[in-house]
Amino acid sequence: MKKLRITVDNKTYEVEVEVISQEEGQSAPRPAPRRAASVSAPAAPAAPASSAAPAAAGDVVSPLSAVVVSVDVQPGQAVNEGDKLITLEAMKMNTFVNAPAAGTVTAIHVSAGNAVEEGQPLLALE
Amino acid sequence: MAIAPELLEELNKRRAAAEAAGGKAKIEKRHANGLMTARERLEAFFEKGTFQEFGKYAQHSCHNFGMETKSMPYDGVVCGVGYVEGRPVAAYSQDFTVGGGALGRIHAKKIVDLMDYAHEMGVPVVAINDSGGARIQEGVDSLSGYGQVFFKNVFLSGVVPQVAIIAGQCAGGAAYSPALTDFLIMTRGASNMFICGPGVIKAATGESATLEQFATAEAHASVSGNIHLIAEDDQHALELTTKLLSYLPSNNLGDPPHDPTPEIDLSDVPAFNELVPADPKAPMDVHEVIDNLVDDADFFEIMPDFAKNIVVGYARIQGIVVGIIANQPTVKAGTLDIDSSDKGARFIRTCNIYNIPLVTLVDVPGFMPGLAQERGGIIRHGAKMLFSYASATVPKITLILRKAYGGAYLAMCSADMGADMVFAWPTAEIAVMGAEGAVGVLYRKEIKEADDPKAKEAELRSEYRKKFASPYQAAENAMITDVIEPKQTRAVISLALRNTVSKRDTRPPKKHGNIPL
């Protein structure tokens, strides 16, 4: 038997509910296992928890957490060192990601509007 | 009557023996590797003929492990004083050809004596480090020697400028003497600095690490932030030191070598107007602002490769020596974070010690948000900026170029933090927070209840921007000295420096403030 409080149109009702059966696999939520008592600080998060794959050689990564404003190159495009590749925005300011060296854009991992984290690969340059 | 010839012979013999250093073979090997000897370094540093050597005939005092039969000319460290651009400077240079430049008791005594001399005469100390470390044969005498040098480094800190050049090996405890000085310069390719080398790291923790990852000039300049400048070779290291000293007084009681122009040039610099992007979101390279502000675009940047979101360095403005602290919007949006706060605060305090006026160029959107920053102690590190500015008693001139938001505005030397004069360009945005955040907080309900919440939000943001993202709210509250056209910048800052250079600021007596370290 479970006791619930329900509010409808600012009126509060207390009701009792009996659970007759539960679908398999949906057992009542168990409390999370208690953490081992510890005085140490919680561990620092490992790599950014995004879907981002770790940067590979040739990847150009984001210098800070930001939103992609525009991707300023096409796959296959040849670029010179210092050319603008991607425009990011964070902290009321645009940040240009420029080519660290001359090369060809082989893949683009993000598109305008994506949120990216510091160190996340934006595109690959070969 | 004349001096007995054998006495002169004896002197000449001893001189020659000392100048032979560790022997011809070792010296030739250095030259082949493009390295100067310890003595050549000092002779190149000082004006010709001005070097007076201290303790040329000193020898080690060790009687262990067969050392009593070995000669160590000047005990492996050349010490003395000489002139650099017309001013006396004390310097010592460790000689790697003499017992690996290792530090023993007499070696340390010579360094400490030289530092005592520098203290009493009020002259800078330049330390050229090139040493294998402690002279093991001397046991705790060697360890004690390091302790005495460290103590003297601290004793002199804030009294006379101390510059350390790392021109070779600098390992283990030896690295802490340079670390206690004002400025560290490393020569590229020729030097390493570390506490525990790859072998020790591997043995102690199993971790694999290479010297390139943590001990080179490049690693220290860009990653650890332990050094201030990279030199390409020995000669360049000495030139950088000379240039650095040209901005510093000989000691803390003197003014820096100002060379004020007889007349102040008050003409406009139209390039400033051209520099400012119309779009407030477009990054502006603050180096261009600095180059237009300082004499001959000659800006001596300190720590150029570390925490590039803040730019610090020395220059002259119509002859007045200044320390410039500027946000760099092209890197990390110009935010203040842990590293840039440390870099900025250290520089401000160095300027304050040596009576160098501070010119602060503000374009800061805020402190860098993020878990790593919060967990890394951005509160403690950012507080160093506040502490350094508020405790600095030198003239403080602030120019707000564009963004000046929230706590970061205060941390870039607002009037409240003790700026003597604050100027703003019409593009300045002085506000407690940005429009996006502020409107969300102030008008949550209005936006939610509007027929078109998005349009309402945009309208309110634009209204907020107009009202608060400008210099005029701060100006109306008498928080800034003046709003100026960018092209007037050089004239206005030049005048402000002349007007404040006589500043006297007395604080209550205390041992020292408690800067959050």
If you write DSSP's letter for every residue of chain A in order, what string do you get? -EEEEEEETTEEEEEEE------TT-PPPPPPPPPPP--SPPPPP-S-SSSPPPPPTTEEE-SSSEEEEEE-S-TT-EE-TT-EEEEEEETTEEEEEE-SSSEEEEEE---TT-EE-TT-EEEEE-
C-beta atoms of A95 and B366 within 8 A: no
Q: Which residue of B has its CA nearest to A43?
A: B375
Nearest in space to B91 (alpha carbons), one of B33, B26, B47: B47
C-beta atoms of B333 and A93 within 8 A: yes
**What pLDDT is attached to residue A49?**
41
Strands (E), B279-395: 300-302, 310-317, 320-327, 358-364
B480 CA to chain A: closest CA distance, Å? Answer: 23
C-beta atoms of B365 and A92 within 8 A: yes
**What pLDDT is attached to residue A22?**
54
pLDDT band per the 50, 70, 90 thresholds, residue A15: confident
Chain B positions touching A40 (Cβ under 8 A) are none
More confident residue, A22 or B510: B510
Q: Which of residues 393-412 of B touch A (CB under 8 A)?
A: 403, 405
- The answer on pLDDT for B362 being more than 60 is yes
Map out the domains of chain A as residue ranges. 59-125
Chain mean position to CA B80:
24
Alpha helices in B197-320 (DSSP H): 198-205, 211-214, 217-219, 234-245, 271-275, 286-293
Run of H or E including B429: strand B429-431
Contact of B334 with B327, CB cutoff 8 Å: yes
C-beta atoms of A91 and B371 within 8 A: no
Nearest in space to B294 (alpha carbons), one of B494, B430, B500: B494
Place of tokens 């590039």: B308
pLDDT band per the 50, 70, 90 thresholds, residue A13: confident
Nearest in space to A100 (alpha carbons), one of A84, A118, A122: A84
C-beta atoms of B333 and A96 within 8 A: no
When pLDDT is averaged across residues B55-63 and rounded to a whole number, the result is 87
Q: Which residue of B has its CA nearest to A41?
A: B375
- Which amino acid is it at A62? S
When pLDDT is averaged across residues B503-513 and rounded to a whole number, the result is 95
pLDDT band per the 50, 70, 90 thresholds, residue B262: very high
Q: Nearest by CB to A95, which of B333, B366, B368?
A: B333
CA angle B320, B326, B331 (to 5 degrees): 150
Place of tokens 């300049």: B221
B91 CA to chain A: closest CA distance, Å? Answer: 41
pLDDT band per the 50, 70, 90 thresholds, residue A27: very low
C-beta atoms of B283 and A96 within 8 A: yes
Is B377 part of the contact surface with chain A (CB cutoff 8 Å)?
no
- The answer on pLDDT for A33 being more than 70 is no
Place of tokens 């409808």: A8
Query: Whole-prediction pTM value?
Result: 0.88
Which region among A18-32, A73-87, B289-303, B442-456 has the lowest average model confidence (pLDDT)?
Answer: A18-32
More confident residue, B466 or B332: B332
B437 CA to chain A: closest CA distance, Å? Answer: 11
Chain A positions touching B281 (Cβ under 8 A) are 89, 92-94
B294: DSSP letter: S
Place of tokens 């001096």: B3
More confident residue, B66 or B145: B145
Catalytic residues of B: 172-173, 407-408
Q: Tell me how many residue pairs between chain A and chain B have CB atoms under 8 A apart.
A: 45
B181 CA to chain A: closest CA distance, Å? Answer: 32
More confident residue, B1 or B197: B197
When pLDDT is averaged across residues B106-118 and rounded to a whole number, the result is 97
C-beta atoms of B329 and A93 within 8 A: yes
When pLDDT is averaged across residues B265-271 and rounded to a whole number, the result is 97
Q: Rounded mean pLDDT of chain B? A: 95
pLDDT band per the 50, 70, 90 thresholds, residue A36: very low
Chain A positions touching B403 (Cβ under 8 A) are 92-93
Domain A59-125 = CATH 3.40.980.10: no
Which region among B22-36, B63-77, B126-140, B142-156 has the lowest average model confidence (pLDDT)?
Answer: B63-77
Using a CB–CB cut-off of 8 Å, the residues of A that contact B are: 44-45, 63-65, 89-96, 118
Q: What is the largest CA-CA distance in chain A?
A: 71
Q: Is B112 helix (H, G, I), strand (E, B) or coil?
A: helix
Q: Nearest by CB to B283, which of A45, A64, A95?
A: A95
Q: What is the pLDDT of residues B18-31, one digit of tens each?
A: 999 989 999 999 99
CA-based Rg of chain A, rounded to a whole angstrom?
25
Phi, psi of B283 (to 5 degrees): -70, 145
Contact of B229 with B240, CB cutoff 8 Å: yes
Strand order in the sheet with A84-90: A93-98, A84-90, A66-71, A115-116
A30 C-beta neighbours (distance < 10 Å), count: 6
List the domains of chain B with CATH numbers.
Answer: 12-245 (3.90.226.10), 271-432+470-500 (3.90.226.10), 435-468 (no CATH)
A67 CA to chain B: closest CA distance, Å? Answer: 12
C-beta atoms of A91 and B330 within 8 A: no
When pLDDT is averaged across residues B290-305 and rounded to a whole number, the result is 98
**What pLDDT is attached to residue A45?**
44
B282 CA to chain A: closest CA distance, Å? Answer: 6
Chain A positions touching B401 (Cβ under 8 A) are none
pLDDT above 90 coverage of chain B, percent: 85
When pLDDT is averaged across residues A90-116 and rounded to a whole number, the result is 94
Rounded to an integer, what distance in angstroms lies between the CA atom of residue B256 and that of residue B247? 6
Q: Best mutation site among A65, A69, A91 for testing chain B: the one with the most B CBs within 10 Å?
A: A91
pLDDT above 70 coverage of chain B, percent: 100
Q: Which residue of B has its CA nearest to A65?
A: B370
pLDDT band per the 50, 70, 90 thresholds, residue A19: low
- The answer on pLDDT for A25 being more than 90 is no
Contact of B323 with B347, CB cutoff 8 Å: yes
Nearest in space to B409 (alpha carbons), one of B392, B424, B395: B424
Is B371 part of the contact surface with chain A (CB cutoff 8 Å)?
yes
When pLDDT is averaged across residues A33-50 and rounded to a whole number, the result is 45
Chain B positions touching A93 (Cβ under 8 A) are 281, 283, 329, 333-334, 365, 403
Q: Nearest by CB to B370, which of A44, A65, A89?
A: A65
- The answer on pLDDT for A30 being more than 60 is no
When pLDDT is averaged across residues B187-192 and rounded to a whole number, the result is 95
Q: What is the pLDDT of residues B62-96, one digit of tens each?
A: 778 878 878 889 999 999 999 999 999 999 999 99
Contact of B129 with B160, CB cutoff 8 Å: no
Rounded to an integer, what distance in angstroms lies between the CA atom of residue B103 and that of residue B97? 13
- The answer on pLDDT for A39 being more than 90 is no
